[in-house]
A and B are shown apart, each in its own frame.
Chain A
Amino acid sequence: MATGIQQPEVATGQPEAKSLRWLARAFHTFAHDPRLWFGVILLAFVIAAIFAPFISPYPPLLYHPAIAEQGPTLAHPLGTDDLGRDQLSRVIYGTRISLTVGLASILVGGLLGTVLGILGAYFQGWIDQIIVMVIDALLSFPSLILALAIVAALGPSIINVLIALAIVRIPIYARLARGQTLQAANQDYVTAAVVSGTHAYKIMFRHILPNIFAPLLVQATISISLAILDESTLSFLGLGVQPPTPDWGSMISEAQVYLTSDPWMLLGPTLAIVLVVLSLNILGDALRDYLDPRSKDSGRVESS
């Protein structure tokens, strides 16, 4: 009965009222959890990355020696670098590399790790033992040093940085997925699937995977920020993106030389890295609270 009375109200509601209600609800959600504002910041960076050619005021490689090493001006809000290139445009283009490498390395590493973890936990026996040993071996290297070693061997380039950062993330996801699968394997729905003769791969990836997905997703937001930090670090050391491609890490590496004469060169890439990483960390915390309220206020597992 109550729904019968409510119904016409919704049906007769004007499109404007509907959008207003949507806005009000969004406002309420944002007021309730201010951390979501960092999602807006992140979204701005994603948009900047996608539409870089339309947003950036100048071409990122356009050099102009006459205006080199300038502080912020109206024409160049973040100043210019040692070759007179517009720092804002370079920061905007740099977003592309940071976000792509961050996302792609987690996708590849996370996928491989998750599959390995589920396989090990599901089949047990020697497969599991080998997988656990590989995880332990990979975890025996401090992650950035492992990434350094891989890039050192493969040679400095953006693709090799991506490969290195993906490999470095495998053990964390494998360990997490393995632990979660071990727990899930004792659940009734898995037993039911086994008894009804469902194929092992179907049980693993159609039954178990969706049930262990939440902790993996939380881990992913945290690892993306770590991957972005690692990428900028490798590029800063001259092992990642090669000049003249605009990248936050290598921009800071170039600015290092001009620290005394033109410290403004540091401003743009520094702000970009800190804002993106901060937003990802805060959103990761928020996501964890939504998906797994039990773990509220507990510390982060992964350290770089």
Chain B
Amino acid sequence: MIRYILRRILFMFPVALLVSFLTFMMIHLVPGDPARVLLGEYATPQTVAALDRQLGLDKPLPVQFVLWLWQALHGNLGESIQLQQPVVQAIGQRLPVTVELGLCALLYSLIPAIPLGIYSATHQRSLGDWLVNVFSLISTAIPVFILGLALIFFFAVSIRLFPPGGYVPFTQDPLANVRDLILPMVTLGTGVVAVNMRQIRANMIESMGQDYIRTARAKGLSERRVAYIHALRNAFLPVLTLIGLQIGSILAGAFIVETIFLWPGIGQLTIMSILSKDYPVVQGVVLLAAFSYMAANLLVDICYAFLDPRIRYER
């Protein structure tokens, strides 16, 4: 087991290096001189040169990358141009907001998906199965920003049940925090509910056809026990992989949800920074997003290997 984990981590190093390089290269994709773009057309050559030096753009490319990486490894991702504070600090202040939103949405995406997926797999071609499938098709076709605006319109503008946006930290007022959380969480998680449900349904149908299910039925177990204990346990494994994949879409979705619901998280920070061309912040967020996505998938792989011994001995 430990050998498997070590090998996976070792395998991640070249990819992580390449990911860092791609993120670093972002600023070099900027057409023209980034410092000039940042300072506007009336900047004097002296100020442009000074900003070039501050961003490290006056050195050869490989040297720049090594320096940037060295600084990043020491927790220094540069200074935000707009906010006049270190990028790490700017991200760190807003990270808890995004993590709260993301984790709650992930949890919300699983809770209804499991019973609905099982129901629709065990009642194939029933009215309930059809309804579940229609819901799943429609909710995957609605983009996050439309769902968010629709929920605001129905639940904040029309019946004023929830606030249309805003954020109160949990430590300051837990109740207000939960009230602010509901609409963003539902907005972010609903599309994922559908994907999870489809996956659980497909896996359940597959595992219901296996030999051990026939054996369980032959033993005289109740259909409910067969479905919930025997089939579900095996149907749940692929869902784990799916969660790993979805952390990416939840993270990206959180960016949009934060913009719509005015949550002061890293998503709002990123969009703001992109629009004001604050490249160091965008670089920092992209790097953080990629690395947390990689870490999440590593964790999923490890859990998977833990639950299914066959994987440990592959390759």
Q: Which of A's residues lie within 8 Å of B, judged by CB?
A: 133-134, 136-138, 140-146, 148-155, 225, 229, 232-233, 236-239, 249, 252, 255-256, 259-260, 263, 266, 270, 273-274, 277-278, 281-282, 297-300, 303-304
Residues of B within 8 A of A299 (CB): 195, 198-199, 201-203, 242
On whether the beta carbons of A274 and B18 are closer than 8 Å, the reply is no
Is B279 part of the contact surface with A, judged by Cβ < 8 Å?
Answer: yes
On whether the beta carbons of A298 and B202 are closer than 8 Å, the reply is yes
Is B39 part of the contact surface with A, judged by Cβ < 8 Å?
Answer: no
The chain A residue sitting closest to B239, CB to CB, is A299
Distance, CA A300 to CA B285, complexed state (A): 29
Residues of B within 8 A of A133 (CB): 14-15, 18
Contact of A145 among B137, B142, B255 (CB under 8 A): B255
Interface residues of chain A: helix, strand, loop or mixed (majority)? helix
Residues of A within 8 A of B26 (CB): 149-150, 152-153
Residues of A within 8 A of B260 (CB): 256
Q: Which of B's residues lie within 8 Å of A, judged by CB?
A: 14-16, 18-19, 22-23, 26-27, 29-31, 137-138, 140-146, 149-150, 152-153, 157, 195, 198-199, 201-203, 205-206, 242, 245-249, 251-253, 255-256, 259-260, 270-271, 273-275, 279, 282, 285-286, 289-291, 293-294
Contacts beyond the supplied A140-B294, A141-B289: 12 A-B pairs with Cβ under 8 Å:
A137-B15, A140-B15, A140-B19, A145-B248, A148-B252, A154-B30, A233-B256, A236-B145, A300-B195, A300-B198, A303-B245, A303-B248
Contact of B274 among A138, A239, A255, A300 (CB under 8 A): A239
On whether the beta carbons of B289 and A274 are closer than 8 Å, the reply is no
The chain B residue sitting closest to A261, CB to CB, is B157
- A148/B255 contact (C-beta < 8 A), A140-B293, A259-B152 known: yes
**Nearest Cβ on chain B to A15's Cβ, whole angstroms:** 40
**Nearest Cβ on chain B to A55's Cβ, whole angstroms:** 24
Distance, CA A229 to CA B253, complexed state (A): 12
On whether the beta carbons of A152 and B146 are closer than 8 Å, the reply is no
Residues of B within 8 A of A260 (CB): 157
Residues of A within 8 A of B18 (CB): 133-134, 136-137
Contact of B205 among A134, A263, A297 (CB under 8 A): A297
Distance, CA A295 to CA B254, complexed state (A): 32
**Nearest Cβ on chain A to B92's Cβ, whole angstroms:** 18
On whether the beta carbons of A141 and B286 are closer than 8 Å, the reply is yes
The chain A residue sitting closest to B275, CB to CB, is A238
Distance, CA A136 to CA B11, complexed state (A): 11
Residues of B within 8 A of A255 (CB): 149
On whether the beta carbons of B31 and A154 are closer than 8 Å, the reply is yes
Task: Name, among A137, A142, A256, A260, the residue most crowded by chain B CB atoms within 10 Å (CB to CB).
Answer: A142
Residues of A within 8 A of B275 (CB): 238-239
On whether the beta carbons of A281 and B141 are closer than 8 Å, the reply is yes
The chain B residue sitting closest to A239, CB to CB, is B274
On whether the beta carbons of B144 and A233 are closer than 8 Å, the reply is yes
Residues of A within 8 A of B31 (CB): 154-155
On whether the beta carbons of B249 and A142 are closer than 8 Å, the reply is yes
Task: Name, among A154, A274, A299, the residue most crowded by chain B CB atoms within 10 Å (CB to CB).
Answer: A299
Q: Name 24 interchain pairs, CB-CB below 8 A, sorted by A.
A: A133-B14, A134-B18, A136-B18, A141-B22, A141-B286, A141-B289, A142-B248, A142-B251, A142-B252, A143-B252, A144-B252, A144-B253, A148-B274, A150-B29, A151-B274, A153-B27, A153-B29, A154-B29, A154-B30, A239-B275, A263-B153, A263-B157, A273-B143, A299-B201
On whether the beta carbons of B143 and A232 are closer than 8 Å, the reply is yes
On whether the beta carbons of B137 and A281 are closer than 8 Å, the reply is yes
Residues of B within 8 A of A137 (CB): 15, 18-19, 22
On whether the beta carbons of A256 and B149 are closer than 8 Å, the reply is yes
**Nearest Cβ on chain A to B110's Cβ, whole angstroms:** 14
Contact of A152 among B153, B198, B256, B282 (CB under 8 A): B282
The chain A residue sitting closest to B20, CB to CB, is A137
**Nearest Cβ on chain B to A227's Cβ, whole angstroms:** 12
On whether the beta carbons of A259 and B149 are closer than 8 Å, the reply is yes
**Nearest Cβ on chain A to B280's Cβ, whole angstroms:** 12
- A229/B143 contact (C-beta < 8 A), A153-B30, A304-B249 known: yes
On whether the beta carbons of B153 and A259 are closer than 8 Å, the reply is yes
**Nearest Cβ on chain A to B188's Cβ, whole angstroms:** 13
Shortest 8 CB-CB distances between A and B: which pairs? A142-B248, A144-B252, A153-B29, A278-B141, A137-B18, A152-B274, A299-B199, A277-B141
